Amino acid sequence: MSYRIANLLAGISLCLPLAAPAANKDDLAEIRQQMETLKRAYESQIKALEQRLQKAESLAADNQARLAENTARPATQQTRANDFNPALSVILQGSVNSYSQDPDAYALPGFQLGDEAGLANEGLTLDETELTASASVDQLFYAESTLSLSDDGNGTNIDIEEAYVDPTALPAGFGARFGRFFSDIAYLNQKHSHTWDFHDAPLAYRAFLGGQYGDDGIRLTWTAPTDLYLMFGAETLAGNNFPGGDSQSVKGDVQTLFSKFGGDVGASIAWQAGVSALLADANDREGGTSTLFNGDSDLYAADFVWKWAPNGNPQRHNLILQGEYFYRDESGKVNVTDGVNNGLLRYNGDQRGWYAQTVYQFMPQWRLGARYDRLTSDNDLDVIKLGGFADAASLIQSSGLENFGHDPHRLSAMLDWSPSEFSRLRAQYDRDNSRLNGTDNQWSLQYIMSVGSHGAHLF
């Protein structure tokens, strides 16, 4: 390009002598100045274009080199798009709670309770706060971790609630999970507490699962390629937590089996049912501060959920009917400690529990719900060793496994308001007849706030 401009300028200069007689010195000087200005402008533009061309060629060469390097590098070493941007979310929960009886003396006669099966702290308290990070690891795995922060009245506890990996490329409808996670038995157990329709768990979950059962283990599932949703699964779990054992001392051993199936009825109704079993070999399972259970604990559950929303759109009105039934058979030995006394019982437990609830969204953002739950127990207790107790009656009473003819039951009502999908305020009343000494009138005001990216909830 530069040689063409030079030839053009040379041609113009050759013509100048012919025009000289008609031009004066001022005209010639002006023409020469204009020519110099044009020349400098063209040279500047040419230089800029040449520099852009060099940069483009250099960038293309670098990209080609990177492509060749990534192609040769193993897949596990390749740069991932989400290395530094996992989905993050924070769930904030808190409540104000009031009881007509002492919450520290809470018990379910006939049932051994885990450490986390009690009532929320009285007064203004911080409920469970969840910090969750999740992302696709690569083309083969998805990972998620949830930290739980809770206040036990003496301070703040920080626990790894879930930390698991899901393979994403398994064939033929198979799925898997390994790490720490909530078991998929029953219906409510796998759901995080902020998705529950009531402030607290049903009585059956307190009695049979310590509130909610999560553990370290492996899960395998298979979903059938049918129009009707049909899924089968199994888990093997370490037995760190109730009803398996105590992670701070001796572990238990837990196996689960479950099946879920469901479908749609027209455009407005969806349903799901399930059956499951949890088979635990319990070792030194704590029940409060006074008992340790060693033996077999077999739990069986059935659940059903029915959802209605006009034409499948739940935004204005929707109705949910939900219920679960549990049966547990336990056998083994129970060590009972009370001060210096240390007795031993032979224990065979035959226990049942169920709940039924309905939640109706009667207008956008507002829901009303009611729940009834009940427990029954028929436990055979024989004294092996008194261990300092005065008699068999005092030993059995200290174990908490005698129901004295009382079946714990409770009636709950709630009203909640959700300004958006990220916030909820809830008022709840429980007429709780779980204890032997009368009714406990329980009131709670709860808030749930969600910040950040949060995935869709399960059915």
Residue with tokens 């009303």: 368
Pair type for strands 141-151 and 129-136: antiparallel
**Which residues are 253's β-sheet partners?**
281
DSSP state letters, 21-35: GG--HHHHHHHHHHH
Mean pLDDT calculated for residue range 59-76: 44
The dihedral through the CA atoms of 282, 284, 287, 288 has a sign that is negative
Hey, what are 90's tokens? 């924070």
User: Can you give the pLDDT at residue 39?
Assistant: 60
Residue 250 CB coordination number (10 Å): 15
Write the single-letter amino acid at 228. Answer: L
Question: How far apart are the C-alpha atoms of 274 and 323, rounded to whole Å?
Answer: 11
Pair type for strands 87-99 and 123-126: antiparallel
Cβ(269)–Cβ(308) below 8 Å = yes
Give tens-digit pLDDT for 178-194. 999 999 999 999 999 99
Hey, what are 103's tokens? 């919450």
Residue 20 CB coordination number (10 Å): 12
CA atoms within 13 A on the CB side of 79: 7
What DSSP element (H or E) covers 350?
strand 341-363
Give tens-digit pLDDT for 390-434. 999 999 989 989 999 999 999 999 999 999 999 999 999 999 999
User: Can you give the pLDDT at residue 114?
Assistant: 77
Question: How far apart are the C-alpha atoms of 183 and 272, rounded to whole Å?
Answer: 18
% of the chain with per-residue pLDDT over 90: 65
User: Can you give the pLDDT at residue 118?
Assistant: 84
pTM beyond cutoff 0.95 = no
User: Can you give the pLDDT at residue 56?
Assistant: 58
Residue 54 CB coordination number (10 Å): 10
Question: How far apart are the C-alpha atoms of 46 and 363, rounded to whole Å?
Answer: 70
Give tens-digit pLDDT for 94-128. 999 999 999 988 989 999 887 777 898 899 988 88
Cβ(237)–Cβ(183) below 8 Å = yes
Give tens-digit pLDDT for 15-61. 444 444 444 656 666 666 666 666 665 565 666 666 666 655 555 55
Q: Which DSSP category does 53 fall into?
A: H
φ/ψ of 226, rounded to 5, equals -125, 160
Question: How far apart are the C-alpha atoms of 409 and 354, rounded to whole Å?
Answer: 10
Mean pLDDT calculated for residue range 278-293: 87
